[in-house]
Chains A and B, each alone.
Chain A
């Protein structure tokens, strides 16, 4: 066996260091607030007990019932680009605010919430255009900081909206997005204004005392008498007295502020599916259109009590919230709320972040393990890598199982699902390969693959900011086909990506001579890659045909040349071409690994790129992150280019040696 190349080892170490730094940047620095931690006057953190209680308040959003914490998480991701923010209170103490606390602040203490750095602005030119003072090019701003440019923002957004989406420049799109976010945020900010301010009864203040205030629920109770009386006065006098007009205006304003935002009141009529906002309940009662006004009045009263109690401290607030939540749960359909607690726990535990930290540790450990060769210390790192990877993958599996229970469907139904599923199954497959081949190579690859794919999942989650647990559209809502076709296709991606990663490792190892010309290890890796490609062929072929059969059941055609279908077919064709080329002796070891790396490009096209094309029935229609896919292609092509160069250099070196031996032999003969 030859000695390992020192230069090669250094090159590999540098590449590994770059990869690690990128992963760490994503894990830590990218989630930290930009700029200095802002001081927020009057900020007081919520008690943990209060947060835990409110986190399980059921709401309807995105077509399903979900806990307050889930709703808060995706809202915060959408506005803030992260699930946490840091602020300083009056005493200069830094507090970390997570989604539930952030949304509680927004709806229950809006006067403080407007000072929180809620909005992530990626391009300060958007603020420049609306005459708002900018900080860095990319920073986070509070509502209070943006409010002065509000009107101009809406005007600009309105002027950009007629431009076709794909023709808008990034600044135009960001302006539209910010306007949309501000509007939505305002719907949350003013939601409980009816409960905070109540209704002022004009002219009731005697001797300079302020006018009296009453609850909305009290006014709602008087609606059956008040509304006909108003009609009578109007018909008799031709106009409504100012005081009554003011009262009606306040009711309308309060109802309008609470018209969107939180669909938190289950329908009084259990045959209905749509939950109501507080605004709906107020308006329906006041216009005498409510089927059960007494229920609506009690609902609004319960929220008013909670909001009022908050002024006296969180203990009373918690008691009122407990009654409110019980009231909601008693009326909601049991099936709708049975996993609320589980879902709140799922997001609270943050399984994938914890798994990512472990994968990252495993990746570092695996690099040390490879670097130390076969020593005893290396064996220690072998076990460290194995244990961190196994624990991390167990966390991922747990998370996926919980998701399946909450969604009541198989694990893969949307793009986010595919990322975490491929990450998890990729790691499991690597461990299985390690168990069979015992070459420490696949084990080292496992945590790297896990880290990369969880980073991708987190990136996608931030970019999409949509709840990935929401129900599926009718055509996808088939557990049979989701279990067969989708799982097969996704596992096919896993097999192909693992093969490509192993081949990247092979190319580096052989090209940089990191293995000291260890032919046994190379043979073992080639066998593993070949096996993975066979697995990919099988799963992709069966999955693609199953997809065709599903399409035949859904749309009446087996094959529609839809980009997603074509992508799946391309994987089948490419992997079949590799196998036939290998069987026909057209490609040998180098060729197999180079082709295997290209499989990753074909999979990336099918899995991600087709979504950017904007055509087809499987089109998810998103446009962000297009640059990342090109970076991925380039990285894979660089690996291939390096592989080609290494292959030619090795061949020319072998040819040179053979020629030298022949010359020597000729010389000896002569």
Chain B
């Protein structure tokens, strides 16, 4: 009796852990997080008009972006918002705690539970794609084959030795080791079996080598061999940026070469000679290799008659692996999936091709461990929602039927 009265009058105080749990699993947090994501999505949509998609995504949804200040029409909005990645992470926590653990269990909730599982799976798929997806493109002319895809954004420095007229033993400096080398920052890179190191500095995301006779440097840029790297503003379409950097060779005996420019769109690599050995140093977009070759047999681009409206793009390719060939057709909405790689019909060229000209195909190559997960999660969510709907419908029918029975009994 005492206990009852105690319980009634003095509700037991919740522990801090419980309060945190209640908060993290509550509807209020769910609502707030959904609204915050809505706001971030809206602002990111508007901001990409001025800054392009790639830069906006990095600002709003990259894991490196903890908070952000939105900008619309070039004006900063006095509002500090959390990064979208972490808002999504909070939504994931909220869904696991609230939508799976805390949710009332019972036949009526089973549909909601399944739907929540589906959404959690989808969020995880998004996270996996965000961290592990690789994306590039492969351009092939009919009759030619390729086994490498070129990354859309990442510029790397490649050091290779020339042997028998061909490049051998590639050493790659990845983009994330270069992008912070701005201003006075520099980094020294050593390579196995290469008799020199490379000091890289002055990295620019979008650059252009300029001859000092055409335009004198204005910001005290390093001039080498009559040229310096001019910093261009980042392009709205990030794929169009051309990176550049300064490099200097340091031989094992301590001798240093003069600094030289590495530019992402240069026609020829820089060469370094050490005795009889010859090396090339080059900057280009990262190439990644596939375990098989893709040979283009035929490419067809069709347009609706009398218009420039595309009607059909088809690439008939042969996938060649260990001497075995398989014929595959890649077209719009019909990609080729094989060994974790997916090939999509992305584009074609040359852009100024006339009727009768030989055209090449551009295939987008994607490696995403979570490639099909969103599709599976959709089935789960749709099934969960259907169960909820049927549960409610059956409940409603039963209630109506009971009411009618009671009404009949009364009569």
A-B contact pairs, 14 of them (CB 8 A): A63-B311, A64-B304, A273-B305, A475-B310, A545-B122, A552-B371, A554-B332, A556-B365, A557-B133, A566-B45, A573-B34, A574-B38, A581-B27, A614-B49
Is A561 within 8 A of B307, CB to CB?
Answer: no
B198 near A: Cβ within 8 Å?
no
Q: Which A residue's beta carbon lies closest to that of B378?
A: A545
Q: A275-B306, A471-B311 given as contacts; is B48 within 8 A of A561 (CB)? A: yes
Is B45 within 8 A of A567, CB to CB?
Answer: yes
- Kindly list chain A residues whose C-beta atoms are within 8 Å of the C-beta of B37: 573
Among A63, A275, A552, A570, the residue within 8 A (CB) of B42 is A570
Is B31 within 8 A of A577, CB to CB?
Answer: yes
Q: A471-B309, A610-B45 given as contacts; is B374 within 8 A of A561 (CB)? A: no
A58 to chain B, nearest CB (A): 13
Is A552 within 8 A of B48, CB to CB?
Answer: no
- Kindly list chain A residues whose C-beta atoms are within 8 Å of the C-beta of B381: 541-542, 545
Q: A563-B45, A574-B38 given as contacts; is B31 within 8 A of A556 (CB)? A: no
- Kindly list chain B residues whose C-beta atoms are within 8 Å of the C-beta of A275: 305-306
CA distance A576 to B35 in the complex (A): 9
Is B27 within 8 A of A580, CB to CB?
Answer: yes
- Kindly list chain A residues whose C-beta atoms are within 8 Å of the C-beta of B404: none
B222 near A: Cβ within 8 Å?
no
CA distance A63 to B375 in the complex (A): 34
Q: Chain B 311-346, CB within 8 Å of chain A: the 1/0 string?
A: 111000000000000000000111100000010101
Is B375 within 8 A of A549, CB to CB?
Answer: yes
Is A477 within 8 A of B311, CB to CB?
Answer: yes
Q: Which A residue's beta carbon lies closest to that of B50?
A: A615
Is A555 within 8 A of B374, CB to CB?
Answer: no
B77 to chain A, nearest CB (A): 18
Q: Chain A 53-91, CB within 8 Å of chain B: the 1/0 string?
A: 000000011111000000000000000000000000000
Among A470, A477, A546, the residue within 8 A (CB) of B332 is A477
Is A559 within 8 A of B313, CB to CB?
Answer: no
Is B313 within 8 A of A538, CB to CB?
Answer: no
Is A542 within 8 A of B333, CB to CB?
Answer: no
- Kindly list chain A residues whose C-beta atoms are within 8 Å of the C-beta of B41: 566, 569-570, 573
Is B344 within 8 A of A556, CB to CB?
Answer: yes
Is A474 within 8 A of B26, CB to CB?
Answer: no
B30 to chain A, nearest CB (A): 4
Is A556 within 8 A of B335, CB to CB?
Answer: yes
B363 to chain A, nearest CB (A): 9
- Kindly list chain B residues whose C-beta atoms are within 8 Å of the C-beta of A585: 27
B135 near A: Cβ within 8 Å?
yes
CA distance A316 to B376 in the complex (A): 67
CA distance A275 to B307 in the complex (A): 12
Is B126 within 8 A of A61, CB to CB?
Answer: no
B129 near A: Cβ within 8 Å?
yes
CA distance A63 to B385 in the complex (A): 42
B41 to chain A, nearest CB (A): 5
- Kindly list chain B residues whose C-beta atoms are within 8 Å of the C-beta of A555: 344, 346, 364
B44 near A: Cβ within 8 Å?
yes
CA distance A570 to B43 in the complex (A): 11
Nearest 7 interchain pairs by C-beta = A584-B27, A63-B304, A577-B34, A573-B38, A556-B366, A556-B344, A273-B305
A479 to chain B, nearest CB (A): 11
- Kindly list chain A residues whose C-beta atoms are within 8 Å of the C-beta of B385: 538, 541-542
Q: Which A residue's beta carbon lies closest to that of B38?
A: A573
Is B344 within 8 A of A554, CB to CB?
Answer: yes
Q: How many interface residues does B have (CB within 8 Å)? A: 55
A550 near B: Cβ within 8 Å?
yes
B382 near A: Cβ within 8 Å?
yes
Is A471 within 8 A of B53, CB to CB?
Answer: no
CA distance A474 to B303 in the complex (A): 9
Is B375 within 8 A of A474, CB to CB?
Answer: no
B207 to chain A, nearest CB (A): 25
Is A63 within 8 A of B306, CB to CB?
Answer: yes
CA distance A475 to B335 in the complex (A): 12
B193 to chain A, nearest CB (A): 37
B409 to chain A, nearest CB (A): 25
Is A553 within 8 A of B333, CB to CB?
Answer: yes
Q: A63-B311, A474-B310, A554-B344 given as contacts; is B30 within 8 A of A580 (CB)? A: yes
CA distance A283 to B123 in the complex (A): 62
CA distance A554 to B335 in the complex (A): 7
- Kindly list chain B residues whose C-beta atoms are within 8 Å of the C-beta of A553: 333-335, 344
A212 to chain B, nearest CB (A): 37
B210 near A: Cβ within 8 Å?
no
A508 to chain B, nearest CB (A): 26
B250 near A: Cβ within 8 Å?
no
B28 near A: Cβ within 8 Å?
yes
- Kindly list chain A residues whose C-beta atoms are within 8 Å of the C-beta of B38: 570, 573-574, 577, 602
CA distance A263 to B381 in the complex (A): 50
Known pairs A474-B332, A546-B378; list 20 more (Cβ under 8 Å): A62-B306, A62-B307, A63-B305, A275-B305, A473-B311, A475-B332, A478-B333, A481-B333, A541-B385, A542-B378, A545-B378, A553-B335, A554-B344, A556-B365, A559-B126, A563-B45, A566-B41, A569-B41, A605-B42, A615-B48
CA distance A407 to B118 in the complex (A): 36
- Kindly list chain B residues whose C-beta atoms are within 8 Å of the C-beta of A668: none
Q: Which A residue's beta carbon lies closest to that of B310?
A: A474
Is B374 within 8 A of A552, CB to CB?
Answer: yes
- Kindly list chain A residues whose C-beta atoms are within 8 Å of the C-beta of B27: 580-581, 583-586
- Kindly list chain B residues whose C-beta atoms are within 8 Å of the C-beta of A552: 371, 374-375
Q: A471-B311, A549-B374, A556-B342 given as contacts; is B28 within 8 A of A586 (CB)? A: yes
Q: Chain A 528-562, CB within 8 Å of chain B: the 1/0 string?
A: 00000000001001100110111011111111111
CA distance A615 to B333 in the complex (A): 22
B253 to chain A, nearest CB (A): 49
Q: A475-B332, A566-B42, A581-B27 given as contacts; is B374 within 8 A of A545 (CB)? A: yes
B265 near A: Cβ within 8 Å?
no
B377 to chain A, nearest CB (A): 7
B172 near A: Cβ within 8 Å?
no
Is A581 within 8 A of B48, CB to CB?
Answer: no
B110 near A: Cβ within 8 Å?
no
Is B45 within 8 A of A584, CB to CB?
Answer: no
CA distance A577 to B344 in the complex (A): 36
B57 near A: Cβ within 8 Å?
yes
Q: Which B residue's beta carbon lies closest to that of A545?
A: B378
B83 to chain A, nearest CB (A): 14
CA distance A473 to B61 in the complex (A): 31
- Kindly list chain A residues whose C-beta atoms are within 8 Å of the C-beta of B49: 613-615
Is B42 within 8 A of A556, CB to CB?
Answer: no
CA distance A172 to B389 in the complex (A): 55
Q: Chain B 244-269, CB within 8 Å of chain A: the 1/0 string?
A: 00000000000000000000000000
Among B56, B129, B304, which residue has the most Cβ atoms of chain A within 10 A? Answer: B304
Q: A545-B381, A559-B126, A584-B30 given as contacts; is B48 within 8 A of A61 (CB)? A: no
